[in-house]
Amino acid sequence: MSVIASLRTAFVALAALSLAACGINSVPAKEEVAKAEWADVQNAYQRRADLIPNLVATVRGAAASEQGILAEVTQARADATRITVSDAQLTDPAAMARFAEAQSRLTVTLQRLQEAYPELQSQGRFEDLMTALEGSENRINTARDAYNEAVRDYNTEIRTFPSIIGAKIIHGAEPMIPFAASEAAQNAPAVDLENIGGAPAAAPAANDNAEDEAPAAATN
């Protein structure tokens, strides 16, 4: 191999290392990780939303005289499922705030529902649904933590040398917004299952809430 060819090879290798060091590959890679984690956050919230129609139907069947909180829960679910954040909006603080606020309102209405119907603690169907919701809240917290860690990693990458060169010049990267729940929803809905022990109530049929919940489903 000639000297010129050797120098050319060495230059190409050096250029490739330099580009890699400047965030050409690492910045988009970390961005994609953060986007994937955000998808998990939205999936966790959707899982919670999917459980709520059955919960509402169960409460309605046992406490048909009280409709106020049920209406609030149904409306809050509709709002929470309608407001989403796309990948392109992960750098938009206003979009993230709207999403967090909608989810917070739903969390608060679920807390009110739990407090309003303590007698339902003895019903097996209610117990199962509230336990499932508690599990959903745990999934949401785990997904949010993973997303925020991915955002921290990405934001650090685009602000530190030498990756900041590729981040600004090549990718035009902007910091992503970590998820921050509003003060009203810092805690998951309380689920007090200590006094459960009564005979389980008959579970509503799978389609009991189809007609009642149709308006909410249409907003998804």
Omega of the bond prior to 162 within 30 degrees of 0, cis?
Answer: yes
Domain range spanning residue 214? 41-149+182-218
- Cβ burial of 77 (10 Å; 0-12, 13-18, 19+) is buried
Asked if residue 12 belongs to a domain, the reply is no
* pTM for this predicted structure: 0.70
**152-211 tens-digit pLDDT:** 999 999 999 888 888 888 889 999 999 987 655 545 444 443 433 333 333 333 334 333
Tell me the Ramachandran region of residue 190: left when phi exceeds 0, alpha when psi lies from -120 to 50, beta otherwise.
beta
Which residues, other chains included, contact 90 with Cβ-Cβ below 8 Å and sequence gap of 6+?
A: 34, 35, 38, 96, 151, 176, 177
For residues 185 and 107, the answer to whether their CB atoms sit within 8 Å is: yes
**Cα 139-49-63 angle, rounded to 5 deg:** 115
In a domain, 63, yes or no: yes
Asked whether residue 97 is domain-assigned, the answer is yes
Q: Which residue in this structure is represented by tokens 């005979």?
A: 199
Q: For residue 128, name the pLDDT band (cuts at 50, 70, 90).
A: confident
What is the per-residue pLDDT for 122? 59
The answer as to whether 116 is a domain residue is yes
| Residue found by looking up tokens 């003895």 in the block | 122
Tens of pLDDT, residue by residue over 90-104, are 999 999 999 999 999
CB atoms within 10 A of CB 183: 7
Whether 99 is in a domain gets the answer yes
CA distances in angstroms from 196 to 191, 192, 200, 202, listed in the order given: 11, 9, 9, 15
Q: Which amino acid is at 195?
A: N
The answer as to whether 207 is a domain residue is: yes
Closest CA to 73 of 42, 47, 51: 51
Residue 166 CA to residue 151 CA, distance in Å, equals: 18
**Mean of per-residue pLDDT scores for the chain:** 77
Domain assignment present for residue 75? The answer is yes
**Residue 33 maps to a domain:** no
- 129 pLDDT above the threshold of 80: yes
> How many domains does the chain divide into?
1
CA distance 85 to 98: 9
Number of neighbouring beta carbons within 10 Å of residue 102: 21
